[in-house]
Structure 1
Amino acid sequence: MHSFRRAIEVLFVLTLAVLLAGGIVFVLGQAISLVAGQSQWLTALNDAIKTPICITASVCAVAGFLLSYKRRQALEQPQKAGAR
């Protein structure tokens, strides 16, 4: 069970890193496009980056939910007798 949790943790961290990097690229690209006055660049960024970022955000959210659920479940288990 610990290997499953570890795999979810790795998935969460990787998707979070990709999501943050993609968000930075997306916002910087929009800013550069606006300053340059190139509406085609905005459209290209929207077409190329927006969908993968949304998918990554969804995977990250599901992984985060699974991690929080398993942690809460572990905290709710009664402690063994004699353990202090």
Structure 2
Amino acid sequence: MSNLKQELKENIIELLNLEEFSVEDINDNDALFGDGLGLDSIDALELMVMLDKDYGIKLTDPKEGKEIFQSIAVLAEYIEKNRTK
């Protein structure tokens, strides 16, 4: 699971051009939206595309995304249980 969390941090930094962050700056339990990384709804759409492309997970319900994108830890746990790639 720690490899997946590391991978997610790297992918999110690259995908969303978060050049001000390094992998070490992101705690597994930091909020991705709001006070944490400060992501917004456009970023959420990009994360949904990443889930589909990289892990074979299609999210259709925005409420589901809100729960899954709470933190790296929550996201990694969801991917472990639902990935098809």
Q: Identify the TM-score tier after normalising by the shorter chain.
A: under 0.3
Q: TM-score, normalised by structure 2?
A: 0.27
Name the structure, 1 or 2, with higher relative contact order (CA <8 Å, separation 6+). 1
